[in-house]
Amino acid sequence: MTPGGEFPYHQHCGYCDDHCIDIESNSSFLLITNFWNEFDNIEKFFQRISQQTSKPKVWLWIDDGSTDGSSEEVKRLSNSIPGVEVWLEVLPTKLKGNLDTIGRVYDLTLPKLIERINKYKVDYIAIMDVDNDPCRNYCARLMWLLDKFPEVGAAAGIPIGEEDMRRVGLPMGGGKFIRWSIMRKITRYWDIAPDTLLNIKALASGYKLKTWQVPMNLDELTTGFTSKGVFRQGRLNYYVGRPFWAVFYRALRRVLLRQHGTQLMRGYFQERMRNTWRFHDPDTEWFFGKGGNPISGLLDVLRYSKVRE
């Protein structure tokens, strides 16, 4: 922390020097926060968004069946940020949260809101979780960069402490910005994690993906770099039909990087034994089908092994 008590985001930023430099964007965005039983963190997250130099026109909260009064807390704070309209969608109560079914949550929520969102003429959709702690210029900077690089369809910053891990890979989910023109065309999210699907749809629409050095502070590693998160990725790899050789070489790459490669294979084989494959989105099948032969897989391992040099 700095002497004044503020986290020194500028020390981790690729765009600010000795202090946090304000940036302005004329674009607008809608923010989505999906949650389950996060009562204790909601007020703190409202405070963080209130400190952003660019705030959302609309903030959509999706309660995935909380049992701890989280929705009531969102309602209580819904008028606390001037100029930000808060929407709340509440799904049936569940006793346990499930990261593997967030796509279903989006299925039940977003398609019915498309026309309503259209009326606000937002340029981007942003996704953040209640544990995200972005620098105060995070939203403004991401929009400014997307305005500057129209060839980029989806982008995100980098969690502090994960800079080396993020040198190669897709933009993370918490903190992702995607063009509304891309997202509004999505008619189904299946069970796949929405942030992964959004990356794929951006690529399928002819856009590039980008990770920019705009800092996000987190208490823990993002899910994709935890043992449990990589296990889920292994299950997803079978669920969407990625060829075995492509999974094997990605697991080997993770072993070299010490990023839970064995967990990736365990998740893949568990889902294979269940035989519950039922996913048929052509864009996603195309994306996960890439690199499905030994030669391209080996090249993939060599490319990623350079991260450790």
**309 residues of the chain, pLDDT tens digit each:** 443 347 888 888 888 877 777 888 889 999 999 999 999 999 999 999 999 999 999 999 999 999 999 999 999 999 999 999 999 999 999 888 777 778 889 999 999 999 999 999 999 999 999 999 999 999 999 999 999 999 999 999 988 877 665 555 678 888 999 999 999 999 888 877 788 899 999 999 999 999 999 999 886 666 666 788 888 888 888 888 888 888 888 898 888 877 888 999 998 998 888 877 667 888 888 887 765 555 554 555 455 444 444
Strand ranges (DSSP E) for the chain? 29-35, 58-63, 85-90, 124-127, 133-134, 152-159, 176-179, 208-217
Query: Domain segments of the chain: what residues?
Result: 9-217, 226-308
The CATH T-level fold of domain 9-217 is Spore Coat Polysaccharide Biosynthesis Protein SpsA; Chain A (3.90.550)
Predicted TM-score of the model (pTM) = 0.84
State the DSSP H helix or E strand holding residue 48, giving kind and residue range, or none if neither: helix 39-50
